[in-house]
Amino acid sequence: MNRFWQPLSGWLGHAAPFQFTPDYQPAAGITRYICGTPAILALAALECGVDTVLAAEPLGGMAALRQKSVALTECFIELAEARCAELGVRLASPREAAQRGSQVCLSLAAPLHEAGYVVIQALIARGVIGDFRAGDPARLDEVPHILRFGFTPLYLGFADVWDAVEHLRQVLASSEWKEARFNQKASVT
């Protein structure tokens, strides 16, 4: 099966879709023949999301959503720096809201700078959903591993931000991330 080439290669058929390498390496087995991203039928649920955004129009629409998004990300940054800096947490996103969108990226300083993946796994086990992006292993001080958190203003609130930072603090302070159950690599964060 691996000797055939799929002429319509796609992101989901990549061997490591989250590596974001410039070259395409097909996945092993039948997975290499997935040629698109989401299936059209799966996108039918998108209509519900659009309806939700449209329902926000009477409350200020996209401008109000963006305002809350900025407030959530700024709150997360302030809390992470105040409560987790001594544990090695560093801001990797631009501080300027217009340059970072609705997400915040953090990195971990040495000696924890290689623990990003397992820290995210420990947070996911606690119900805090983030994801991990690998940096350059040879230059982690310049191109660090990234812990990425998204803030969707339609259903996240400031209590969620507080809780996420508190879980991050606890995971790092207790070294919970060192548990074997978090040290098993999956294909997706």
Decide if 29 is inside a domain.
no
Domain that holds residue 162: 61-182
CATH number of the domain where residue 71 is located: 3.90.1150.10
Decide if 31 is inside a domain.
no
Decide if 188 is inside a domain.
no
Decide if 110 is inside a domain.
yes
Decide if 38 is inside a domain.
no
Which of 34, 28, 40, 29 has its CA nearest to residue 9? Answer: 34
Decide if 47 is inside a domain.
no
Amino acid at 72: L
Mean pLDDT of the chain, nearest integer: 88
Decide if 55 is inside a domain.
no
Query: What local confidence, expressed as pLDDT, does residue 189 receive?
Result: 62
Domain count, the chain: 1
Amino acid at 69: S
Decide if 165 is inside a domain.
yes
The secondary structure of 18-77 as a DSSP string is TS--SS--BPSGGGGG--SSS-TGGGGGHHHHHHHHHHTGGGTHHHHHHHHHHHHHHHHH
Taking 70 as the pLDDT cut, the residues of the chain under it are 1-2, 36-38, 187-189
